[in-house]
């Protein structure tokens, strides 16, 4: 039975969303095409009708995952962002958390197509965090962007380091607490 163009697009979007979750949970090398397609409810053979390669899917799923984080944090002030992002709930929610925290290390070893999508996603998230400075004031805009980069790097780093520890490790929580407190203090001084 032939499917409609709309259904094919919906199926593709479902595969991308499923891949986004599985890649964040297991890493790029921890998910095979057949496992991915089974999790999405499709056969392995259908993969290559939708994607040229696993790399193409990795790139598209990175965009999807980062868009989810951008939507979740859109309009948040930096203090609110830190409270949400540098938290045990985010740390423990690997499959639904930020793609940057889950896959940046993996992405660094991937082809340019994947790394380009990460760079675009980082820019998108920086724009969400950097909404304070007026575009007409170049000095304030440059300072605001620097602050957004610093904030994002520290927040992502806190989650990455905390996740590297065993789940019940006191160090995992200590990293989150220290980083969150330091970020909040620096924002209150800015």
Q: Can you tell me the mean pLDDT for 68-88?
A: 94
**What are the angstrom distances between the C-alpha of 16 and each of 88, 110, 119?**
26, 18, 19
| CB 151, CB 145: distance < 8 Å | no
pLDDT grade for 133, boundaries at 50, 70 and 90: very low
Residue 148 pLDDT greater than 60, yes or no: yes
| CB 43, CB 74: distance < 8 Å | no
| Residue 60 burial by Cβ neighbours in a 10 Å radius (0-12, 13-18, 19+) | buried
For 8-59, the pLDDT digits (tens) are 899 999 999 999 999 999 999 999 999 999 999 999 888 988 999 999 999 9
Residue 132 pLDDT greater than 80, yes or no: no
Task: Report how far residue 149's alpha carbon sits from residue 129's, in angstroms, rounded to the nearest whole number.
Answer: 9
Q: How far is residue 13 CA from its own chain's centroid?
A: 17
Q: How confident is the model at residue 72, as a pLDDT?
A: 92
Taking all residues of the chain, what is their mean pLDDT, rounded to a whole number? 92
Biggest CA pair distance of the chain: 63
Q: How confident is the model at residue 134, as a pLDDT?
A: 47
Q: Which fold has domain 52-189?
A: Tetracycline Repressor; domain 2 (1.10.357)
Give me the residue spans of the domains in the chain: 52-189
**What are the angstrom distances between the C-alpha of 158 and each of 91, 115, 155, 179?**
9, 21, 5, 6
Torsion of CA 146, 151, 154, 160, to 10 degrees: -120
């Amino acid at each position: 039975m032939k499917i409609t163009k709309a259904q094919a697009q919906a199926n593709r979007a479902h595969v991308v969303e499923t891949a986004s979750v599985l890649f964040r949970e297991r890493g790029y090398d921890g998910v095979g095409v057949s496992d991915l397609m089974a999790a999405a409810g499709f056969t392995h053979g259908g993969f290559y009708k939708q994607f040229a390669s696993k790399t193409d899917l990795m790139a598209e799923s990175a965009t999807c995952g980062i868009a989810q984080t951008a939507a979740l944090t859109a309009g948040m002030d930096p203090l609110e962002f830190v409270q949400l992002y540098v938290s045990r709930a985010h740390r423990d929610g690997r499959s639904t958390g930020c793609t940057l925290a889950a896959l940046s290390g993996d992405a660094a070893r991937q082809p340019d197509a994947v790394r380009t999508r990460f760079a675009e996603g980082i820019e998108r998230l920086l724009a969400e965090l950097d909404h304070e400075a007026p575009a007409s004031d170049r000095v304030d805009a440059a300072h605001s962007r620097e602050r957004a980069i610093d904030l994002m790097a520290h927040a992502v780093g806190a989650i990455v380091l905390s996740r590297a520890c065993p789940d019940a490790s006191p160090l995992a929580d200590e990293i989150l607490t220290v980083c969150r407190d330091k970020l909040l203090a620096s924002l209150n001084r800015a």
